[in-house]
Amino acid sequence: MVGPDWFRLSVRGGVLKAREQLSGYIALQRLLDHRTALKRERDTPPEALTTLRTQFAERHDKLEHAHKRRESLQGEQGSLQPEVEALREEREHFRKQKSQVTNMKQLSAVVSELDHVESQLKAKEDRLLAIWQELEVTDADIATLGEESHEERTLREEAEAAWDVGRKAAEAGLADVERELSNVQRELGEAGMASFKKLWASRKPNAVVPMDGTACSACHADLRPSLVQLVRTNEELQFCDHCRRLLYDPEKFKASA
């Protein structure tokens, strides 16, 4: 774990020396970075679990939609059926009338009514057939969507359990980091922490950064040769001329494994 086990502040006359102050600030930056990473581990499900959850949610949404669609189709079917029966009876009525007419005028009127009824009947019968066909497809979808396979359920439950273990580990790690942060803050003292908070407020989340060769690892600007030398000597706190972040030599302050 990243932590201040390599950092022990000594105070002489109540004033922190530059190296000791820099050591404390590096420790804070590393701990804050580690805390951010642990919070992300705790709060962000693994990609594989997110995919499984999405698939399960999509299945549930599709199943719910299919049930609603079936209910709607069945309602429409129930309304159409008596209308079709009524039109069939009406068609039979006009067919009988057609056989009983005595002149062309009556025949023309009956045929017109019969054509109109048959047109309405055909449209409704066609719609009933389409509903029946769609109900068959919807019922098949419901049967498929309603069954999560044993393999799917096992895979999802194992992923959930693994993430639960990971969350608990991250929570434990966060508790350790908070304790270590308190220790560093106490050793830095009020004045040292006030300076760090001011720097952090303007440059978070990376207020204290290592050099990358002879460049700033944050803004990637090339550093003056004299500034590089000053950073390496650790006699005073040194800041990047471009982004004003606090610099340190990573060879002098190696992170714990």
pLDDT on residue 201: 94
Q: For residues 161-167, give the mean pLDDT.
A: 95
Structure tokens at 78: 């129930």
Cis? peptide before 205, omega within 30° of 0: yes
- The CA distances from residue 33 to 1, 157, 167, 231, in Å, are 11, 31, 18, 22
- The model's confidence at residue 17, banded by pLDDT at 50, 70 and 90, is confident
Q: Considering only residues 150 and 9, tell me which one the structure prediction assigns the higher pLDDT.
A: 150
Q: If residue 248 lies in a helix (H) or strand (E), which one and from where to where?
A: strand 246-248
pLDDT tens digits, 84-138: 999 999 999 999 998 898 899 999 999 999 999 999 999 999 999 999 999 999 9
pLDDT on residue 149: 84
pLDDT tens digits, 133-162: 999 999 999 988 887 888 989 999 999 999
Are the beta carbons of 18 and 236 closer than 8 angstroms?
Answer: yes
Cβ-count burial 99-132 (b if 16+ within 10 Å, e if not): eeeeeeeeeeebeebbeebbeebeebeeebeebe
Residue 13 has pLDDT above 70, yes or no: no
Separation CA 85–CA 100 (nearest Å): 23
Q: For residues 192-214, give the mean pLDDT.
A: 94
pLDDT on residue 27: 95
DSSP β-bridge partners for residue 148: none
Are the beta carbons of 253 and 2 closer than 8 angstroms?
Answer: no
pLDDT on residue 166: 94
Fold classification of 4-205 (topology level) = Helix Hairpins (1.10.287)
Q: For residues 29-51, give the mean pLDDT.
A: 95
